[in-house]
Chain A
Amino acid sequence: MMQSLILRTATRLLASLILVFSVYLLFRGHNSPGGGFSGALVAGTGFALYAIAEGAASVRRAIRIDPRDLIVFGMGLALASGLPAAFSEKPFLTGLWWTVAELPDYRLVLGTPFFFDVGVYAIVLGTILTLILALEES
């Protein structure tokens, strides 16, 4: 934790923006540069900045859950995203897609790869946070 007023003020402004950007990267990843891995790295950087400025305890308060649980959750989600295919007698992890909403110009489709990507996101972010917080607290 650094006692720098500039850093702390800037962090408060930046951290939320960084996190929004991270989620944006995650969502657009399927069609443009981004995805679960990149998104998680951005989020990890944001939390690291927050940890340096405000201390590890503040990060723990902010994320509420143990980062190790995040890893477990991500792993479960990634594995579970392969199951629908397996149940419909296709190879494990085959992508399945559903149309959620149809508008005149747009069609919103949702597929199992999205959940897989969210799983990747959770695992990578969980890993980064686990390490950063452990280092910051030691």
Chain B
Amino acid sequence: MTRSGNPLTEWIGRATAVLPLLVVLAVCGLLPKTAAGEAYRFSLSWVPALGVELSFMIDGLSLLFALIISVVGFFVTIYAVDYLHGHSQIGRFFVFLHAFMLSMLGLVTADNVLALFVFWELTTIFSYLLIGFEHEASASRKSARQALLVTGAGGLALLAGFLLLGIITGTYEISEMVDFAAHLKAHPLYGAVLVLIFLGAFTKSAQFPFHFWLPNAMAAPAPISAFLHSATMVKGGIYLLARFYPILGGTNAWMCPLMIIGAITAVGGAIIAMGQSDLKKILAYTTITALGIMTMFLGGSATPSLTAAMTFLLVHALYKSALFLVAGIIDHQTGTRQLEKLGGLLRFMPFTAFAAAAACLSMAGFPLFFGFIGKEIMYKGALAEVMCPELAAGTAVLANALMTAVGGVLIIRPFLKGPGHYPSPVREATFFMWCGPVFLGGLDILFGIFPEWVGHWLVAPAVRAFHFSPEDIKLHLYHGINMPLLLSIITLTLGVCFYLTHRRIHDFVAKATNKMPVTASQIYEWCLEGVAGLGKLQTRLIQNGSLHRYFFIVAATFVLVTGYSFFSRAGALPLPGLPLLALREWLLIIAITAAVLTVLATRILLLAVCALGVVGAGLAIIFLSYGAPDLALTQLLVETLTVVIVSIILLRLPGLGSQTRQHPGRGLLDALLAVGAGVLVTTLLLAVLSTDLDRSITAFFEQNSYLAAHGKNIVNVILVDFRSMDTLGEIIVVATAGLAGYALIQKKRDK
């Protein structure tokens, strides 16, 4: 890392925190509206011909996400200035960060699926840039590429799903698709739509088997992990599932995959988390667990299940972003993130310790913390399900108990237990660094004690936005003694047991993960190698660098394909007879033939080039004799210039000398191809000429070129006036080719 920051850039960076703050205020202004169940909608025309509108809708669901994005975005912004203090690339960081934030806001408010897709992929691209922020480290680049490929590929599947949805319903507006829900679910393509949308959601939200990119994404700076990989982007998939719930959800085909994949992800992530010792890796795997739990509950159909998904979304965003920021502080102040090296931080970092404790206890699900409410409603939801409630409840208990243990490890190991070994004295982080986690941790306590408020303003409107049910949606601190409370007690007890044996579990899991025969990460590597191998293979076969082979393939393809389709429809165009030629035309043909034979026979390069020029000049004279002076002029000039340029090159090359062909048969093959191509093109042209030509276009230009474009030369008028857009494209090609050629020559010279 280069340490040569610019104080001015840092101040500008800190000042940009105004942007998320304004978003927070704007979003809060809409709170009363969404709490009343209304939605705010507006749209701009973008590509009307394709049905692409920039239409936005903010309802309870969008609002909950927008609030998380902007609040966490604000704290991450002010945190990042001190975290990256002195970093030379800090300006770039803030551009990416806010660009990401705006794309994320676009994603959760877009009402048009194509606009949503654009924002979806924008978040992928900016996350790629942010994960690869330390682009000088190869691990960072590799992780960034992995995240880009996995989530980008999922995004493409999503696009296909959106297009299918658009075709089936005839609209691209999500709010209008809702009316077609019954029709969609009965449609034969319903399964395909589901698979494609699930692929998008599962890759983005790191569900099994696409979970492997998320822990690797921890190569990103800590504020990025807090923002993208816990609070916002990874929840894009969750948002998508919730948003499409009223359109696609509620069927068995929707429930089964979500519940099964969600359950596997939740438990798998939590178990692997126990085997980690890097703070950020632990947090990454528990994030996977949380995303799995949310996915599982979105597969439910009872109101409490969906309420649980939304409540837990907020619970997780609060405690996990706080914990990632804390992990960043620990890394920043002590220089290590390894659990076994840390200890006794409570003495040096009281504020950070408070934030960490609040967040960890919320994660563990202790009463009076917001996590407890989330857990209670989760159990209530699981038990209310029609489809295998035992599985859902069991999974939730197991995953939550493991998270309780992880929460315990995270707070007790670094902050309470024995002294750590640090290279230099440890101090508390700056105010701007700890204020974010303290605020977010404080919310965990506040919301835990007054859950009715959050339930009324945030959670209920969010659930109402995608689920219609007369049932009341209220969050309470205490529901009385019932099954969920019992499950909570079981969870905490189990969690304490897991905590007490966490060393053994850690060693066991670490060993087991090392011995896994096949991991998803490896399959990804194999796919990557496979693609690279395929690329190499086709390069060897097709692009082997031999100009002769390229030209042969192109010409042979042309002769075979065009020849086949021409002669297989022999009736469509009449086969022409040979036209009568005048004497001067025969002379021209003889001259051109002689020049061609010279090219073939000579061993002297310059002579060959000049003879080739004669061929071109002969053609130009043919054009001229048939009344196309413009074409003739251009042909002649290009031919001349080609001879000159090629001469400049050839003057520096050795002569062809006694260079012989490698295969004697190759010459024959070339000759056959050349004659075949010549005969084919001639026949084709004669056949075309023997039909009646449609001269209406010519007539149009003859009439209009002087009247409309003040020019008598039709060819030129077409080029610069009627079809000037085409010419513009062509000159851009010319300029690009010129600059590329220049770069090539320059590169050759530097070698």
Q: How far is the CB of A4 from chain B (nearest CB, A)?
A: 13
Query: Which residues does chain A contribute within 8 Å of B711, judged by CB atoms?
Result: 30-31, 113
Given contacts A48-B644, A131-B738, A132-B648, is CB(A34)–CB(B731) below 8 Å?
Answer: no
Q: Any chain B CB within 8 A of the CB of A23?
A: no
SS class, residues of chain B in contact with chain A? helix
Q: Any chain A CB within 8 A of the CB of B745?
A: yes
How many angstroms from the CA of A127 to the CA of B303 in the assembled complex? Answer: 68
Question: Is there an interface contact between A31 and B725, defined as CB atoms closer than 8 Å?
Answer: no
Give the residue of B633, B649, B710, B721 whose beta carbon is less than 8 angstroms from that of A38: B633
Question: Is there an interface contact between B629 and A131, defined as CB atoms closer than 8 Å?
Answer: no
Query: Which residues does chain B contribute within 8 Å of A82, judged by CB atoms?
Result: 724, 728
Query: Which residues does chain A contribute within 8 Å of B709, judged by CB atoms?
Result: 95, 111, 113
Q: Any chain A CB within 8 A of the CB of B192?
A: no
How many angstroms from the CA of A44 to the CA of B644 in the assembled complex? Answer: 10
How many angstroms from the CA of A103 to the CA of B352 in the assembled complex? Answer: 87
Give the residue of B641, B712, B738, B741 whose beta carbon is less than 8 angstroms from that of A30: B712
Question: Is there an interface contact between B713 and A52, defined as CB atoms closer than 8 Å?
Answer: no
Question: Is there an interface contact between B720 and A117, defined as CB atoms closer than 8 Å?
Answer: yes
Question: Is there an interface contact between A127 and B716, defined as CB atoms closer than 8 Å?
Answer: no
User: Nearest A residue to B709 by beta-carbon distance?
Assistant: A95
Question: Is there an interface contact between B648 and A31, defined as CB atoms closer than 8 Å?
Answer: no
Query: Which residues does chain B contribute within 8 Å of A138, judged by CB atoms?
Result: 745, 748-749
Q: What mask results when residues 715 to 740 of chain B are scored 1 for a CB within 8 Å of chain A, else 0?
A: 11101110011011001101101110
Given contacts A30-B710, A68-B739, A130-B738, is CB(A48)–CB(B645) below 8 Å?
Answer: yes
How many angstroms from the CA of A137 to the CA of B750 in the assembled complex? Answer: 12
Given contacts A33-B630, A45-B644, A120-B720, is CB(A75)–CB(B731) below 8 Å?
Answer: yes
| 104-138 of chain A: CB within 8 A of chain B | 109, 111, 113-114, 116-117, 119-120, 123-124, 126-128, 130-132, 134-138
Q: How far is the CB of B639 from chain A (nearest CB, A)?
A: 10
Q: What mask results when residues 171 to 207 of chain B are scored 1 for a CB within 8 Å of chain A, else 0?
A: 0000000000000000000000000000000000000
Q: Any chain B CB within 8 A of the CB of A29?
A: yes
Q: Any chain B CB within 8 A of the CB of A9?
A: no
Query: Which residues does chain B contribute within 8 Å of A79, judged by CB atoms?
Result: 728
How many angstroms from the CA of A78 to the CA of B720 in the assembled complex? Answer: 10
Q: How far is the CB of A122 from chain B (nearest CB, A)?
A: 9
Query: Which residues does chain A contribute within 8 Å of B712, judged by CB atoms?
Result: 30-32
How many angstroms from the CA of A87 to the CA of B455 in the assembled complex? Answer: 54
User: Nearest B residue to A40 by beta-carbon distance?
Assistant: B637
Question: Is there an interface contact between A130 and B742, defined as CB atoms closer than 8 Å?
Answer: yes
Q: How far is the CB of B188 from chain A (nearest CB, A)?
A: 44
User: Nearest B residue to A30 by beta-carbon distance?
Assistant: B711
User: Nearest B residue to A25 by beta-carbon distance?
Assistant: B633
| Chain A CB within 10 A, most for which of B629, B725, B727, B741 | B727
Question: Is there an interface contact between B720 and A135, defined as CB atoms closer than 8 Å?
Answer: no
Q: Any chain A CB within 8 A of the CB of B4?
A: no
How many angstroms from the CA of A32 to the CA of B714 in the assembled complex? Answer: 9
Query: Which residues does chain B contribute within 8 Å of A49, judged by CB atoms?
Result: 644
Give the residue of A48, A92, A116, A130 whose beta carbon is less than 8 angstroms from that of B739: A130
| Chain A CB within 10 A, most for which of B633, B638, B712, B749 | B633
Question: Is there an interface contact between B713 and A30, defined as CB atoms closer than 8 Å?
Answer: yes
How many angstroms from the CA of A29 to the CA of B735 in the assembled complex? Answer: 21
How many angstroms from the CA of A38 to the CA of B724 in the assembled complex? Answer: 16
Question: Is there an interface contact between B734 and A124, defined as CB atoms closer than 8 Å?
Answer: yes
Give the residue of A33, A48, A75, A131 whose beta carbon is less than 8 angstroms from that of B732: A75
Q: Any chain B CB within 8 A of the CB of A24?
A: no
Give the residue of B645, B713, B717, B735 whose beta carbon is less than 8 angstroms from that of A74: B735
Question: Is there an interface contact between A126 and B738, defined as CB atoms closer than 8 Å?
Answer: yes
Q: Any chain A CB within 8 A of the CB of B640?
A: yes
Question: Is there an interface contact between B713 and A32, defined as CB atoms closer than 8 Å?
Answer: yes
Question: Is there an interface contact between A132 and B645, defined as CB atoms closer than 8 Å?
Answer: yes
Query: Which residues does chain A contribute within 8 Å of B725, judged by CB atoms?
Result: 92-93
The 9 A-B residue pairs whose C-beta atoms are closest, nearest first, are A127-B738, A41-B637, A30-B711, A31-B712, A113-B720, A33-B629, A134-B745, A48-B644, A35-B716
With A35-B716, A131-B738, A135-B649 already in contact, 14 other A-B pairs whose C-beta atoms are closer than 8 Å: A30-B710, A31-B711, A33-B632, A33-B713, A38-B630, A82-B728, A97-B710, A111-B710, A117-B720, A130-B741, A131-B741, A132-B645, A138-B748, A138-B749
Residues of A within 8 A of B (CB): 29-38, 41-42, 44-45, 48-49, 51-52, 68, 71, 74-75, 78-79, 82, 92-93, 95, 97, 109, 111, 113-114, 116-117, 119-120, 123-124, 126-128, 130-132, 134-138
